[in-house]
Structure 1
């Protein structure tokens, strides 16, 4: 875990974003803490949220407060809406910080889990990759995925499952319309 002091006395150590690998992957995993298909929500309890953080090597954060859990839910809901092409509920302020390392590197960082996730989102946005994070449009799926297609046109989380269902449904509707005409 890459915790580094912010250099300001009396502040909590910052956790730099370089601990999580690709921040887009972390973002997709965070969006998928809500599983519509299975009907599960990692953010339903502070214990499961803390477990998710630990599984993603972010166990240094204490996410057991109700405020942290509520902030995580709000951030996830806003980000899922954005990934689905819908407007976010409102403008939210989430604390992220800029850390300067001894070797002159600039890192986004945070002292809490929601800020850390917001720093990951900011990094993906700065890298102009945020539009690649999408939500499957299938009502019974709504799974988040990262679009790796060259022209950023992927629609479904899985062409084999959700895409195939949608195409089969459209085909049946065309046949039914043709039969009634």
Structure 2
């Protein structure tokens, strides 16, 4: 048994059978919908001068997060998956383009965000499948900060959890949007 295949298959099953089908038909209105006041989202730069990003659209966040952290939109969650979950790790571990919150050009449409997500996911899963047993055991390295000495297998498991977690939240937001009053 190749553990890199098993770990990639775990996420891929969720992606193919749950998350990605739930994103089909996502509209721009849903993408930007704010279920409560004060949401963090992806917005035009002029609407969020403290947002992060290099293009017309920026993502909102603060570090440290306020207590409690704001509710986030589908746009925000997709941006988080594209840049913070997959993108930065693709760059650090699989030769992908550099990705960080300040230099990334965030999508201003649902279709654009899904294209970014599909590409980031494709690169991540190809990288995980290529790790092999030795790659899964090697340390993550300095890109992972305090987790630098953790094995890559731990990072892969963490990314799987993040995608499943945020995917479930996106799915719930879609359910709430479709049933709003």
Common fold by TM > 0.5: no
Return the index of the structure with the highest Cα Rg. 1
Q: TM-score, normalised by structure 1?
A: 0.25
